Structure 1
Amino acid sequence: MPQHAVRRTARLRRLVASAVAPALLALLVLVQAPAAAAYPPDLPSKAVAQAELDALPVRAEGASAPYDRDLFPHWITVDGCTTRETVLQRDGDGVEVGSDCYPTTGSWYSEYDGETRTAPADIAIDHVVALAEAWYSGASEWTTARRQDFANDLTGPQLIAVTAEVNSSKSDKDPAEWVPPLASKRCAYAKMWIHTKARWDLTVDSAEKSALQPLLDGCSY
C-alpha cells in the first residue's frame, strides 16, 4: 500500500475511534447504572387509573361499628425493620440506619408540599387512603389480618413519606376534602388513591369520585 494511503487510513481510524469511544463509554455507563426505583411503587398509568376509577363501586360511606385505629395493626416488623423504617429508607436520600434499623442520617423530600427534612422524627408515613377512610369504604367487613396487610402495604402506592405537618393537615380526608398543596403532585395523588382503592376492593362515594375525575384529567400520561 502506498505510504500516503497508509497515513490516510491511520488518520481515519483515529477519527473513528475518537467518535465511537465516547458513545461506547456512555453506553457502558447506561448499562451499568442501576435503574431508578419506581416511586411510589406500582403507580398506574392514566389509562389504567381511569379504567379503575370507572369500575369502582359508588356507595355512601358507612360501617356497622365505630372506627378504631387499633383495628389496623401497624407498624409491623419484617426482617428487623418496621414498615415505617422501611418506607423511610425507601423514600429518603442518603439514608443510613443503625443496628436497630432506624435512620441515623438522610433527607426526605415530601411529595405533597415540596418540603425537605433531615430528621426522621419530622417525617410521617402517610396512608394515602387513610385507615378511617378505608374503614368506612369497606374495611369494616375485613378480618384483622387483612386490615393489618392494608395498613402495612409496601407493594402498592399506599404508603409515602411526607412532612408531619402536611400529613396532619390531610388527616383522614378524601380528595373531595383535601389534595396536595403542590398542584404538580395532584395527578400522582389521584392515581395513588384510585389504584389503592381498586387493589383493595374499596368503594368511593359520589363526591369523592367527582373530585378524582378532574385530578385524573390533569394527568399527561
Structure 2
Amino acid sequence: MTIHWSAYRRARRRSRQAWAVLSVLILGIVFVVGWFFTAGQFAIAEPRVNGPSEVPVLDPDWMKPVVPVQPVPVGSAARALEQLPVKGRAPKTDYDRSAFGQAWFDADHNGCDTRNDILRRDLTGELFTEGSECKVISGDFHEPYTGSMVSFRRGSESSMAVQIDHVVALADSWQKGAQQLTKQQRQNLANDPLNLIAADGSANQEKGAGDAATWLPGNKAFRCHYVARQISVKAAYRLWVTQPEKDAMKRVLDSCPWQQTIMAK
C-alpha cells in the first residue's frame, strides 16, 4: 500500500505541475491576443522611428570641410551647450544676406557650388545634367524635418519643393554674434555643410529664421540631432544663445543625454 500511495502522490504532483504550466501558457496567449487586438496591431504597423535620426556632414569622396572659426568641441552636446554664452538678441535692423557673401559659393573648392553639394550628399538615386558631375536635376530622400519621402525635380517652380536649410538661420546668427565675424568667416558659416540640410520647402518656410525656442522639426526622431547640430554650429562660429533658446535645447537633450556634438566626418 505504501508503494501505491507514494506513486499516487507523485502522479498528483505531476498533474498539478502540468496544470500550472498549462494555465501560464493560456494566460500568456490570452494576454498576447488581447494586446494585439487593442494596441498591438498598431504598434506593429507603425514604424518606431519616423524618418532619419541624423544627416551626415560630409561625403569624403568629393567634399572637403569648410574652415570654421574654431573646432567643434568633441563630446556631449549638453556639455557643449553649457559652454555657449547666453545673451539677448542684437538688433536685426541692419541684417542683409549679402553680409554672408555670395550665395552658394564653392567654399570647399571642389568645383561644385554648395547647393548642389548638399543635394548630392542628401539625395539618393540622384541624376545630373548631361556632361556635369555637379548640377543635380533629380533625386529622392527621406526628408528629416517631416520624416516623409520627398522627391526633388529641378525646375523653375518644382525646385522650391526641396530647399537647402541653414540649420542656424543666417538672420538668427546675425543677431547672436555673426556681426562680429569677418566677411570670410560669415561666408564660411553660410556655406558650411555642418550648417546645411536638404529640407522640405514648406517646413523650411515655416521655420524661417526661428531658433529652437520657436521652431523644432515635426519629426521628433530628428530633434536630438537637429539641436546638437545647432549647438555644434554655434560653438564652431562663436555664436551665442538666448535663455529661452537654451531652455528649449536642454528640454530636447534631456530625452537623449547620450547625444554627441556633430562633427565633419
TM tier, smaller: 0.7 to 0.9
Asked if 1:138 corresponds to 2:154, the answer is no
- 1:88 is displaced (CA, Å) by 0.2
Describe the superposition over 1:141-183 as per-residue Cα deviations: whole angstroms up to 9, x where unpaired.
Answer: 11111110000002x3x11001111000001000100000111
Task: Give the secondary structure class of the aligned counterpart of 1:191.
Answer: helix
Q: Which runs of 4+ in 1 moved over 3 A?
A: 44-47
Deviation at 1:39, TM superposition (A): 2.9
Shift of 1:97: 1.5
The equivalent residue for 1:40 is 56
Shift of 1:40: 2.5
Give the SS at the match of 1:104. strand
User: What is aligned with 1:25?
Assistant: none
Deviation at 1:46, TM superposition (A): 10
How many angstroms does 1:136 deviate by? 0.5
1:60-98 per-position Cα deviation (integer Å, ceiling 9, x unaligned):
110486111121122113333110000000001111212
> For the Cα contact (< 8 Å) 2:217–2:223, is it kept in 1?
yes
Unpaired runs of 5+ residues, structure 2, are 1-53, 59-71, 154-158, 259-265
Q: Match for residue 23 of structure 1?
A: none
For residue 97 of structure 2, what is the aligned residue in structure 1? 69
Shift of 1:116: 2.2
**Root-mean-square deviation (CA), in Å?**
2.2
Q: Distance in 2 between matches of 1:89 and 1:47?
A: 28
Task: Indicate conservation of the 8 Å contact 1:63/1:136, yes or no.
Answer: yes
Among 172, 178, 189, which residue is 2:226 paired with?
189
Q: Deviations over 1:109-162 (max 9, x none)?
A: 2100112222241210100000001000000111111110000002x3x11001
Task: Work out the CA distance in 1 between the residues paired with 2:179 and 2:86.
Answer: 17
User: What is the TM-score normalised by the length of structure 1?
Assistant: 0.76
Given the alignment of the two structures, is residue 50 of structure 1 paired with residue 50 of structure 2, yes or no? no
Note the 1:82-121 alignment, pairs <5 A.
82-98=113-129, 99-100=131-132, 101-120=134-153, 121=159
Q: Give the gaps of 5 or more residues in structure 1.
A: 1-37
Length-normalised TM-score, structure 2? 0.64
CA separation of 1:88 and 1:174: change in aligned 2, threshold 3 A: same
Distance, in Å, in 2 between the alignment partners of 1:52 and 1:58 is 13
Instruction: Report the structure number with the largest CA radius of gyration.
Output: 2
Checking the alignment, whether the CA contact within 8 Å between 2:177 and 2:239 is kept in structure 1 is: yes
Opposite residue 88 of structure 1, the aligned amino acid is L
Aligned length: 181
